[in-house]
Structure 1
């Protein structure tokens, strides 16, 4: 289970990095690059979510998964990455409008 927890943390962190790189690209008027980076961020979130789902299914199937501070941290990292990516998507959309004026 520890390996899966680290996968969630790793993919969530990579997603955040791609999202912030997308925001930087959009500020620099590189909108297509921003869109591609947001896609990469979503791909990383999908990987993290898939791992999370495996853990949830294991627990539902009767496996005793002990809640640890590391697991709480992984969940926090994932939810934060999702929220930040969603907000950055909206910011990129606003920058598209601003740059086209």
Structure 2
């Protein structure tokens, strides 16, 4: 029974990372589209939402790291690797979106 509860808790962590990382990526993509159409306020709002999603994912990771530091080892399997991949893609996409928005803004000013 304890193993089942641990598996369920681990899958909640995995799904949290996938969900929040995916949300951040989608929000960053939306920000690019808004900037492309000249809506820089909307683009910034979408980046702000991406940042909130990334904070949520970071909170999930922090909880996981705290558990690890307390001696509660987290099994690293393909699910966890996949979740971390989603999170890193969200972070990278958000960072690139900020740069692309700045380019669109510069083009609009000229």
Counterparts of 1:26-65 in structure 2, within 5 Å, are 26-65=35-74
Aligned length: 101
The Cα shift of 1:65 comes to 1.3
| Residue in structure 1 matched with residue 3 of structure 2 by the alignment | none
Q: Find the residue that maps to 1:99 and give its secondary structure.
A: helix
In the alignment, the residues of structure 1 paired with residue 50 and residue 81 of structure 2 have an alpha-carbon distance, to the nearest angstrom, of 21
Runs of 4+ in 1 over 3 A off after TM superposition: none
**CA RMSD of the aligned region, Å?**
0.7
1:10 aligns with 2:10: no
In the alignment, the residues of structure 1 paired with residue 31 and residue 109 of structure 2 have an alpha-carbon distance, to the nearest angstrom, of 18
| TM-score normalised by length of structure 1 | 0.97
Structure 1, unaligned stretches of length 5 or more? none
Structure 2, unaligned stretches of length 5 or more? 1-9
